[in-house]
């Protein structure tokens, strides 16, 4: 079983839609959790950290469920510019483990 698993998608949604991605992790000792965004042929960029209490940044909401070992990312009111690959990252110390990413395509 992979340490970090994501549905690769693609998720194809219209502008304005709400879309959610889940990511599961296998190591219960994992300490930190993040969502990165990667545009085609570009480097990953930190989108947001994920806290136990859940956190929100504008249209983006991240949740962590330690008991079930998954994290989620909710994007509301999708924009065309949200089209990208979203990488789930789980950290046991300082070495992050990346998921393979979930592809999101937002169409007009």
Partner 1 sequence: EAGVTQFPSHSVIEKGQTVTLRCDPISGHDNLYWYRRVMGKEIKFLLHFVKESKQDESGMPNNRFLAERTGGTYSTLKVQPAELEDSGVYFCASSFREDTQYFGPGTRLTVL
Q: Which residue in 24, 33, 44, 62 binds partner 1 (CB under 8 A)?
A: 44
Q: Which of 16, 31, 45, 59 binds partner 1 (CB under 8 A)?
A: 45
- Per CB under 8 A, 21 contacts partner 1: no
Query: Which of residues 1, 28, 40, 43 is near partner 1 by CB under 8 A?
Result: 43
β-bridge pairing 44-50 and 96-98: unpaired
3 vs 19: CA distance, rounded Å? 24
Judged by beta carbon, residue 71 or residue 106, the one nearer partner 1 is: 71
Maximum distance among all alpha carbons in the chain?
Answer: 42
Residue 95 as a binder of partner 1 (CB under 8 A): the answer is yes
Please tell me what DSSP assigns to residue 26. S
Which residue of 96, 102, 104, 106 would you call a contact of partner 1, by CB under 8 A? Answer: 96
Nearest of 51, 47, 81, 83 to residue 64 by alpha carbon: 51
CB 69 within 8 A of CB 24: yes
- Positions that interact with partner 1 (CB under 8 A): 2, 4, 41-46, 49, 87, 93-101
């Amino acid at each position: 079983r992979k340490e970090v698993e994501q549905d690769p998608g693609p998720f194809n949604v219209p502008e304005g839609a709400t879309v959610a991605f889940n990511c599961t992790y296998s190591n219960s000792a994992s300490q930190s959790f993040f969502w990165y965004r990667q545009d085609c042929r570009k480097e990953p960029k930190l989108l947001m950290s994920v806290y136990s209490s859940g956190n929100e940044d504008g249209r983006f909401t991240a949740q962590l469920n330690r008991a079930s070992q998954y994290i989620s990312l909710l994007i509301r009111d999708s924009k065309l510019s949200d089209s990208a690959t979203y990488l789930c990252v789980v950290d046991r110390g300082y070495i992050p483990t990346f998921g393979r990413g979930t592809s999101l395509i937002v169409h007009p």
